[in-house]
Amino acid sequence: MLVHVDPDRCCGAGQCVLAAPDVFDQDERDGTVVLLAARPPADLAREVADAVAACPGGAIRLEEGVPR
């Protein structure tokens, strides 16, 4: 799994951080998404999927089946 974020689409709601704090953070200046792990471990797949679903701006995208 490969995670992509688009900070320009991010509205700073922070739902991604609540769902997957090991993968996402927020920029201290403007609250936009910061990607901590573009290739998170498989055991975080559920949390990352929850973050994608919860993102009101659609700023997070997953690319499945990408080799490590």
Q: Strand (E) positions, the chain?
A: 2-5, 24-26, 33-35, 60-63
pLDDT of residue 66 exceeding 90, the answer is: no
Q: How far apart are CA 65 and CA 1, in angstroms?
A: 6
3-class SS at 55? coil
CA distance 15 to 33: 10
Domains in the chain: boundaries = 2-63
Q: Please state the φ and ψ torsions of residue 24, each to the nearest 5 degrees.
A: -125, 150
CATH number assigned to the domain with residue range 2-63, chosen from the 4 options 1.10.1740.10, 3.40.1190.10, 3.30.70.20, 1.10.443.10:
3.30.70.20
Average pLDDT of the chain is 95
Supply the pTM of this predicted model. Answer: 0.91
